[in-house]
């Protein structure tokens, strides 16, 4: 099952985001094919304001465990995290 993990950074947290970014990227890479897409939300000028990760997980509890164990979350970067079940309909390379 796919889940969208929508994360909103705390205000004035760019320094923390950049400090923890290598660990965050290594964490995502370590999940292999479970991560379907990922990237930051940004301002119109390109400054990061949060993150979106589309992850395949067995259930909501597994998606929550993924979100909780993200180095960004552990570092306290996020003001809010929302997890939503998601169905990939358009341009899904795995659709049959």
- Using DSSP bridges, classify how beta strands 78-86 and 2-9 pair: parallel, antiparallel or unpaired: antiparallel
pLDDT tens readout for residues 17-41: 999 999 999 999 999 999 999 999 9
Q: Which residues contact 21 (CB under 8 A, 6 or more apart)?
A: none
Average pLDDT over residues 37-59: 97
Average pLDDT (35-61) is: 97
d(CA 58, CA 3) in angstroms, rounded, equals 10
């Amino acid at each position: 099952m796919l889940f969208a993990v929508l994360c909103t950074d705390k205000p004035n947290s760019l320094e923390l985001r950049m400090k923890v970014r290598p660990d965050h990227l290594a964490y995502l890479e370590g999940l292999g094919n479970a991560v379907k897409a990922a990237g930051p939300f940004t301002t119109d000028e390109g400054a990061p304001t949060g993150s979106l990760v589309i992850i395949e997980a067995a259930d909501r509890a597994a998606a929550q465990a993924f979100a909780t164990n993200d180095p960004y979350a552990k570092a306290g970067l996020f003001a809010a995290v929302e997890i939503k079940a998601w169905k990939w309909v358009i341009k899904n390379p795995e659709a049959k």
